[in-house]
Amino acid sequence: MNTETADSLGGASQTTPAPSVLMGIQYVKSVEFQVLGAPAVYTRVTERPHLGISVDVRAHQMGENQPNFEVELILRCQGHLPAQHEEEAITPLFDVNLTYAGIFTLQHATAETFETLLLIDAPRLLYPAARNMLATLCREAGFLPAIIQQIDFAALWRNRRAVG
């Protein structure tokens, strides 16, 4: 959002630049994929696994008084087959922990926009590649790709703030 202010001496208007976040490099910071019960588990997989997903976002300033931050998008995905009968337990298939990160530079950030740029806008930029990496990991492990929907990072941020 650009705002204009009038110069008191000359009456000229100045445009205040909108706060923004610029993404530099993005990368897989860490990944762990465990196939639970291999190789026997592959004989029982006949359908798309049910998925349990948890998401977290962390941001770290790279140096004191610098505008550069590392933002981490942490995805944990657990795949399982549902129980076929009430007395039967679910069949765990895999457990993935993926930390996908990027280097971001804040421009014209204020105290009011700082947190939202790093914890909403930055992970929104990382998410498509992280989601693709998760789907690829599942496929390469011998399962159908994990297809997950878009994440509302604003709601995630609000919930996190409400918890404290």
Domain ranges (residues) in the chain? 20-154
- How deeply is 51 buried, as exposed, middle or buried, from its count of CB atoms within 10 A (0-12, 13-18, 19+)? middle
Residue-wise pLDDT tens digits, 88-141: 788 899 999 999 999 999 888 877 888 899 999 999 999 999 999 999 999 999
Is the Cβ–Cβ distance between 149 and 135 less than 8 Å?
no
**Residue 44 has what pLDDT?**
78
**Residue 1 has what pLDDT?**
47
Q: Which CATH class is domain 20-154?
A: alpha beta
- How does the average pLDDT of the chain come out, rounded? 87
Q: What are phi and psi of 32, to 5 degrees?
A: -135, 130
Is the Cβ–Cβ distance between 77 and 130 less than 8 Å?
no
Is the Cβ–Cβ distance between 21 and 118 less than 8 Å?
yes
The whole-angstrom separation of Cα 34 and Cα 134 is: 13
Q: How confident is the model at residue 65 (pLDDT cuts 50, 70, 90)?
A: confident
Range scoring the smallest mean pLDDT among 1-5, 29-33, 74-78, 86-90: 1-5
Inform me whether the pLDDT recorded for 8 exceeds 60. no
Inform me whether the pLDDT recorded for 5 exceeds 90. no
The whole-angstrom separation of Cα 87 and Cα 90 is: 10
**Residue 10 has what pLDDT?**
52
